[in-house]
Structure 1
């Protein structure tokens, strides 16, 4: 950190910007915009921390004291990131609040007034891109002509362009049949990133049938399998490909795996032996998950809430899908982390084409 860095504990730093001869200067406007961006970054970092709490149970380092100092670190980190390159939100605010002062502030920092004047305004396109990411449509490429870059309405086409797929799904959707076969051959995944890349294309298809955000299906599979590291195995050691912990319920006609599982009875966690469905592939697991929900009357209410993924999983839990009292909250935490990572990746993808 340089000597001019603002500490998040300095409550008077922003108040001092409102007095004196430079109160309405471009430099002060830049600092205010950066501070606003730091608040946004802090919310995002906090959401990422909260998502990890789903896996923090039983960790001896997960104490109130540790979280207190971690919050202090995250707050200062957000300020520092905003002072550096940030996410470009401060620049968008500068252009919207005071185009002339924004141009002069950029000129002062680069030493080239002409470069600031020629810098394209991507603010409108950035807003569309963020809406696309949050709606599950995907990435919009920033170019020199925002009007020319405007994509067709994805809702008007049953098969939207790949540019409208979420960024991570766009990358994974290009997997060859050989890669799909290699994925099905895996009995475990080495990292959350590897698991997400493999599952998101299949989650897209299943989510389209249910009308729910695909990130939530990946999050549910991650919670059930520990990010693909604890997938249920059959007696011969082969993978059951069961991503959603669906049991046989005495109706399943296919292969099954009988294993110990954790269930909550009366709020107390205990070990029980149960029989789970086995599939030939992970895609079959996704397909059976959708069929299982649609054919089971107890989940009828949940299927009416798919537009709100958080409400959908609360209804699933209420209907008895899982006995863990925090099941829905854990899925939501993981899903929000995945969505945040996709949004960050979407911004960083076009970093060399000019910060938006």
Structure 2
């Protein structure tokens, strides 16, 4: 083999190694999140499963907290679950979701509410709730809400962009980018080993980024949010496409920004000191798992905090976990509900409920 050919082969091999290493290497945590957020805009269809578990919820220190009524509510909420499974397609826009609420304690029950949304209509299935009797003539039917008619009845102009998931997602991406930009990567964002990230079985993560707030950095984190991130986020909301979508006026946004700028920093500092003294963050992390296609396909939020109010001697403890997982990204969606036909209007619902004694 000639020296020239050998050199060429070595260069080709070196190029392949560099390309492969570049594909497998992890990006800087904040950069990885920003890139993944932009990539998420390419989701034209997906199945999204959200779950929230209340692991602990207690209130102590006040007579009201010791009452049987409050105790029953706390018992019901502790270990409660809220699950939402959503199927979405961008064009033509259609999304359906099933909301499931599982309550424990003395009122153990599961409430399931299917929903369907199109560009102009929202369908909500009237649930059967054990402790809230409903007439049989309405349970199981879908209440259809015409957004355009509701807007006209309230004297407002119907804005279809308000129910446009694509634009909402774009806005969320810009707001998240503005928020992330203000926080230092090493102090708040870190890469973690996927093996330590409690990922769903079978999920292959290219990179997992963790955002964490602790007792040590919570004061700084809130200060950055108020003084740096929120003004920039308000500038984003002031863009015509988002301002009109949310039906905000320039005056409202300008007033909000003015109040932030004129806020008394001494009072803010005092409030933050009190918060730091009375707030105990046992854990607050947000893990974002980026899949092999660079989509932010899994989120895991874990929070365990306690708040003590020295004035009332009230102690509140809350611990919860929230997860979100995207699957079947850009695949043909399989809608299980479709567009409901067994429907009733708000007027029909009110009439039936009135006859039932409501």
| TM-score bin, normalised by smaller chain | under 0.3
**Normalized per residue, which structure has more strand?**
2
Flag the structure with higher helix content. 1
Q: With structure 1 as the length reference, what TM-score do the two structures score?
A: 0.23
TM-score by length of 2: 0.22
